[in-house]
Structure 1
Amino acid sequence: MEMNILITSAGKRVVLTKKFQETLKRFYSDSKVFTTDMNPDMAPAGIISDGCFVVPRVTATDYIDKLLQICKGQKVGIIIPTIDTELLVLAENKELFQKNGIEPIVSDLAFIQACRDKRNTSIFLSEHDIRVPAPIDKNHPTFPLFAKPYDGSLSKDLYVVRNREELTPEILNHPKLIFMEYIDKREYKEFTVDMYYGKDNRVKAIIPRERVEIRAGEINKGFTRKNFLVQFLKKRLDYLSGVIGCICIQLFYRESDHDVVGIEINPRFGGGYPLSYYAGANFPEYIVREYIQGESLEYIDTWRDNTLMLRYDSEVIVYEK
C-alpha cells in the first residue's frame, strides 16, 4: 500500500490535518498528507497540508474520477472523508478504490444510509437497545416538542416548540422535519462519543465528550468523561457489521438514573475529535497501524479522563507570492 494520506473536503480542519501529518511522519518520515477542496486557496487545512488539490462538487459526475486521478498521481493509499455528503458516494465506489490499492476509511453503504437519514438512525439505535426520543404526531402534538430535518447537519433548521402558538405553518409544513420528544438540557447532559472501529468491525476505543458549549454545531468547550456511557455503548455496539474507522454518536445522558437517549450517528471524524486526540485516543495512529502496517488492534482504554478543551479562533496567513 502507498503511504501517503488524502483528507477530502479539508476546509477548516487544520488540527485534524496536522495530527495526521505528525502521526504519519513518526512512522514514515517521507510520507505526506494531502487534501482536497473546491477552493484550495481559501481552505486553511489545504494550505497547511502537503498539497491541496481542487475537486468538483461531490455530486458532480466526474468527482470520483477526479479523486481517483489525484490518488494515483500522489501515491495515496488512504482516504479520510470529513463531511456527510461525500460518505455515500465514497461508500458506493469503495470497491473501485480498493481495486486500485486505495483504502477509503468509510463504512459500508448500508450503515452510511442508516446514518444519513435520521429516521433510519432511530431504527438502528432502537434495534441496538438504545432509547431514542419518542416520535410525536405533528397533527396531534404534545408540548414541548423538538423538530429537525431527517437529513440535516451543522445544526440547521432545529426547532424547540414549547406551545401551539410556536408551531408555525413554516414548521408544520416543512417537508423534511421530523417531530419528537424534547429532551430537557436542564436534566440531561449532551455528549458526542468518538468510537473507533477496526478492520474486524469491532470497537477499539470509546471516548465520551461532554459538550459544555457549542458553536455552529460543534463543541467549543468540553471534557472527556470516563463514565457509564463507555460500558453502555461497548455492550450494545461492540460489533457492527461493515463499520470501520471513526464514528461519532450524539446522545443525551441523565446521570441520576443512567437514562441514555440516542440522537444521531456521524460515520466520520467529527469536528470535536481533537479533544479525544489530546486525551490520548490517537485515531490517525490506529489507521496507520491497521491499514499500512497490517496490525490487529486490541481494545484501548488508556485515554485520559476529564481532559478539558477550550477552543479559540486562530489564523492561517498567506503572503502574496
Structure 2
Amino acid sequence: MDMTNILILTVGTRVKIVEYFKALPHVKVVCTDASLNAPALYFGDVHYQMPRFTDPTYLDRVLEICEAEDIDGILPIIDTTAFMLSQNQQRFSQKNIKIITSPPEAVALSYDKRKLARFCHDNQLPTIPTFESLSDFKCAREAGQIDFPVFVKPAIGSGSVDNYKVSDMTELEAVLVDKTNMIIQAFVDGPEFGIDAYCDLETGELVDLFVKEKLLMRGGETDKARSVDQEPILSILRDLVRRANLRGPIDVEFFYDHGQWLISEINTRFGGGYPFAQACGKNYPQLIVNNLNGERNQVQNFEYPLNMILMKYPEVVVSSMDSNVLLQSKVG
C-alpha cells in the first residue's frame, strides 16, 4: 500500500496530534514550526524549521516541502495558517495537495468573530448577542436589549488574550479607548461546552462528533472536561455544518444559558481539547487519511462513554542543540 504523507504546520506543543497520525499504518508525518524549540517537531518522521507565517516566502517554502516530501495533505493547526492556506488553496490543488480545512468563507467565520456573529444572525442560528462598536452597544442598551456585565474581546484573536469582563460604562470606555477591532458580547455565566467534530472533506457531511463540558480552562484551552451526551446539541450542529459548509476537523464552542444553546466560536481545525475525544474512542486522523486516499467516510454512530473526566498533564521533551534530535520524552 502506498504511503499517505501528511504535512502538519506550526505544530508547537501539539505532540498528541502528531502521535495519532504516526500510529496509523502507511502514514508519514512531516512537521514544521518557526522554532526548533517546538516539542512536537521531534515526534514526526521528518521536521523542518520554517519562517513565520508573516514572512512573504512562507507559502513558497510550504510548497517546496510538499514537493520534497511528496505531500498529499496539509494540516494547519492554528487559525492564522488555516486562514492563509484557505485563501491560497488553488496553488496547492494544482499539485493535487489537499488543504485539510474548510473552504475560505467558512474559515473566515473562525478567523473573525464579527463575521461569525453576522452569519449566525443571518441564518437564525442561536449565538451570543454581539456588538461591533461602542455606539451599537449603547443603542441596544438604551433599547433594553442588553445591559452590564458584558464581555469584551478581540474580533480576531485566540488564547483568551485581551479578554475582559466589564461591569459598567466607565470601565467599558476605558477598556476600548486604546484598542481597535474589539467586540462587545453579552456576558454568559452558564456552563461552556466544546464539540470536536469531523466533516467529510468530500461530501461535507457531519461524520462524527464528541461533546465535552469544560470544567477548567488554561490559556484558552480546555484543561479538564467531562464527556456529555450529544443529543441536545446535535440538530444545531448539523444546521451549522450545512449552512457554513464546514469540512475536516472542527471545534465548536457553545454556552448553555437559560435553557438555550448559544454558539460562541468556531475553529476550523483541531481544537486544543481534541485529545479528550481520541481518548474516548474517536479517531479523526484516520478519517482524514481516508479522505486523502479518495474514500468518503461513512457517518459514525456518534457514541462514546459518558461522564468520563478528562485531564491534561505536562510532559518534558529533551533534544540536543547540536543535532536537533529527540533524546527523550518524559512526564514532568
Residue 51 (structure 2) aligns with: 56
1:288-319 CA-to-partner distances (Å, cap 9, x unmatched) read 11221524422441333223211111111124
Report matched runs for 1:1-321 at 5 Å. Answer: 3-23=4-24, 25=25, 28=26, 31-39=27-35, 41-135=36-130, 138=134, 140=138, 142-167=147-172, 169-184=174-189, 188-198=190-200, 199-240=202-243, 242-254=245-257, 258-319=259-320
Paired letter, 2:248: G
Q: Is the 8 A contact 2:233 2:261 kept in 1?
A: no
Q: Distance in 2 between matches of 1:241 and 1:180?
A: 22
Structure-2 change in CA distance of 1:318 and 1:33 (3 Å):
same
Alpha-carbon distance between aligned partners in 1 of 2:181 and 2:88, rounded to the nearest angstrom: 27
State how far apart, in whole Å, the 1-side matches of 2:115 and 2:304 are: 32
CA distance in 1, matches of 2:237, 2:187: 26
Cα drift, residue 173 of structure 1: 4.4
SS at match of 1:96: helix
Q: For 2:105 and 2:229, locate their aligned partners in 1 and report how far apart those are by CA, in whole Å.
A: 30
**Structure 1 unaligned residues grouped into runs of 5+:** none
**Contact 1:206–1:230 under 8 Å retained in 2:** no
Read off the aligned partner of 1:177 and give its amino acid letter: M
Cα distance in 2 between the residues matched to 1:246 and 1:229: 21
Which AA in structure 2 matches 1:276? A
Compute the displacement of 1:167 (Å). Answer: 2.8
* 1:69 alignment partner, SS class: helix
Structure 1 Cα separation of the partners of residues 20 and 219 of structure 2? 23
- CA distance in 2 between counterparts of 1:214 and 1:317 reads 27
Q: How many angstroms does 1:126 deviate by?
A: 2.8
Letter in 2 for 1:77: D
In structure 2, how many angstroms separate the alpha carbons of the residues matched to 1:235 and 1:250?
Answer: 14
Q: Is the 8 A contact 2:32 2:49 kept in 1?
A: yes
C-alpha separation between the residues in 1 aligned to 2:123 and 2:210? 19
Tell me how far 1:169 sits from its aligned partner: 2.0
What's the CA shift for 1:261?
A: 1.4
Q: 1:96 to 1:86 in 2, by over 3 A?
A: same
Aligned partners of 1:194, 1:146: CA distance in 2, in Å?
A: 24
CA contact (8 A) 1:194 1:208 kept: yes
Per-residue deviation at 1:245? 0.3
SS in structure 2 opposite 1:265? strand
| Counterpart AA for 1:191 | F
TM-score w.r.t. the length of structure 2 is: 0.87
> Post-superposition shift, 1:230?
3.6
Report the Cα distance in structure 1 between the residues aligned to 2:154 and 2:244, rounded to whole angstroms.
27
CA change 1:178–1:295 in 2 (3 A) is closer
CA offset at residue 108 of structure 1?
1.0
Q: CA deviation at 1:4?
A: 1.1
Q: CA deviation at 1:240?
A: 4.2
What RMSD in Å do the two structures reach over aligned CA positions?
Answer: 2.0
Structure 1 stretches of 4+ moved >6 Å: none
- What SS does the aligned partner of 1:131 have? coil
Residues 195 and 247 in structure 1, CA contact (< 8 A), matched pair in contact too: yes
Structure 1 residues 65 and 229: alpha-carbon distance in aligned structure 2, compared to 1, 3 A threshold? farther
Equivalent residue letter for 2:226: F
The offset of 1:284, in angstroms, is 0.3
Aligned length: 310
Q: Contact 2:125–2:240 (CA<8 Å) still a contact in 1?
A: no
Give the whole-Å Cα distance in 2 for the aligned partners of 1:33 and 1:222. 29
3-state secondary structure, aligned to 2:18: helix
